[in-house]
Structure 1
Amino acid sequence: MSEQFKLFFAHLDDNQDQETASQALQQKLKLSDKQINAFFAGQSIFPASTQDKALKQAKVLANLGIRCRLKRLSSASSAPVNNKRDEQIMAALDYITSSLIRIEERLDDMDHRFSEQLHQSADDLNDDLALDLNLDEESTDDIKPIYKRWPMLVMVLLIVLLLSTLALQFFYPDLLPF
């Protein structure tokens, strides 16, 4: 992991006063008064970034008459970010695993119910054929399909959606904040 830097207020140019600098920050960076006051009090207005990006941010502020100092963040400060991200990934994996287990249980229940209905329908059909002695007449009854495929399709699509979300989170962790 590359080193991270933050910008902190150092001083204003000689021909610059704080009021003018505040107005310039509001216009250029669209910051609130609270954020500007916090910046002049010693807090950073930009998140931690690479050295190149921090230098570009310092150049923008220098054009506004504000001098900043770069502060290197220790690698220990990035460890909580990694731990938090790892915890979020593990929570997402746990959620997906529990969802898959619930889906599997529902599919088993549906399979059990459909097999019972199939047995019952087959028994009813055999009883009807045994009692029906007029086989020469055509049957006008519409036979309804026993298995309906839409619940299975919905379950498969849900699984694919969950797995693709997990893959996106794994390969592009900044794309989907959890």
Structure 2
Amino acid sequence: MSDQFRVVFVGFNADTDSQNAMESLATKLGVSKQKVIAFTQGKPLFGATDKNKCLKQAKLLAIYGFQSKVQPQQSNMQSAPVANNAANERVFEALDYITSSLIRIEEKLEELEQRIDGNEKSGDEKEEEQWQSDELFDELDLDTEPKPKSKKLLYVLLAILFILLIILGFSLAFPEMVQF
């Protein structure tokens, strides 16, 4: 196993506007500005990797006006809890996203049910208002019963929920096997 290195923030170039540099870097990397600000306060922006990749990362930072240095990573025993915390953070973010998605789906289902119930009630009211015109329909043989409501969408959503919960449980039980 090769040595691990990490890019560490040192400062900004003298002619660099720190706010513009942070915004530009956040846009380039596709991360939030808060993560770049945390990088300027000593938190890592990139994961530990080999020296060549760290040098490329340092060059990228230099393009945007950041001064940085490549620092050897401490022993794996100390970096394991940090990696585990990062993995736990990603799992909790994923769980939060899944939960909020399920809440939105549930709200949409309730909305659809209310619309369907509203349409049925308005149809019943119209029938009661037009009771005199029912004589025309007496001649027709209309013994068909309405189809029951399909719960296929609900079952599909429940199946997706169970699959996501199984994946989440698997990732919590075996975090070293699941990489996000």
Larger radius of gyration: 1
Taking structure 2 as the reference length, what is the TM-score of the superposition? 0.49
